Amino acid sequence: MSTASAEALPHTLTPHPVTGMYNGKFGLWLFLASEIMLFGALFSSYVLLRVNGAFPHHGTPENSLSVPIGTLNTMILITSSVTMVLAWASFKLNKPGKGRLFLLLTMLLAMTFLVIKIIFEYRHKYHMGIRPDTSTFYAIYYCMTGLHGLHILGGIIVIGYFLLPGFGLWKKNPEQFTNRIECTGLYWHFVDLVWIFLFPVFYLL
């Protein structure tokens, strides 16, 4: 292996002198930047349509979402962010048992969010005949919350991986495993932050 290629993969554990972050964390921030542009475009589209009167304000028959259900799901996701931080802190303190427990709690909370969303909102509205083609509002609602739900599902898959097959890395390289949990946590906090914007935009305003 040449010197150039050998030097192409350092800083998997230590911060790079230019970025101040190890490679995985820097790569994740680049990915999150693209996600911010994606959701930013969708939020901007919503605002422009709302300002131009494409659909009425919340609470009208054409635009009615359950605030209690939205509030419950918001609390669930906020709690999952706390358990995600506790998972990373536990691995950082060399307590893998607690770390796995908090990862499991995070995954269960995420699954609870999806179950509530699908059964008590999506299925309920479909039974009422409210679908994406019902109105402009519901087209955007299903698009943005559905995309957010896919991100939740992606987080569940990643967390499940680190709980089961991916946990073997802890025995080989605990520091690298902990870094991966930190990156997973950053992604998860971003997903939660998106919902914190989605909730007031669709349910309260």
> Closest Cα partner for 50 from 201, 181, 187?
201
Instruction: Identify the domain containing residue 151 by its residue range.
Output: 68-205
pTM of structure: 0.89
- The answer to the question of residue 12 being in a domain is no
Per-residue pLDDT at 14: 67
Q: Is 104 exposed, middle or buried (0-12, 13-18, 19+ CB in 10 A)?
A: middle
For residue 120, what are the contacts with CB-CB under 8 A and spacing of at least 6? 66, 69
- The answer to the question of residue 82 being in a domain is yes
- The answer to the question of residue 160 being in a domain is yes
- The answer to the question of residue 148 being in a domain is yes
Cα 174 to Cα 102: distance, rounded to the nearest angstrom: 17
- The answer to the question of residue 59 being in a domain is no
How many independent structural domains does the chain possess?
1
Per-residue pLDDT at 2: 38
> Which one-letter DSSP state was computed for residue 15?
P
> Closest Cα partner for 193 from 98, 47, 80, 100?
80
- The answer to the question of residue 53 being in a domain is no
Q: Low-confidence residues of the chain, pLDDT below 50?
A: 1-7
Interval 34-80: pLDDT, tens:
999 999 999 999 989 888 876 766 655 556 789 999 999 999 999 99
- The answer to the question of residue 118 being in a domain is yes
**CATH number of the domain that 91 lies in?**
1.20.120.80
Percent of the chain whose predicted confidence (pLDDT) is above 90: 70
- Report yes or no: 188 and 80 within 8 Å, Cβ to Cβ: yes
- Give SS3 for 137: helix
Per-residue pLDDT at 135: 86
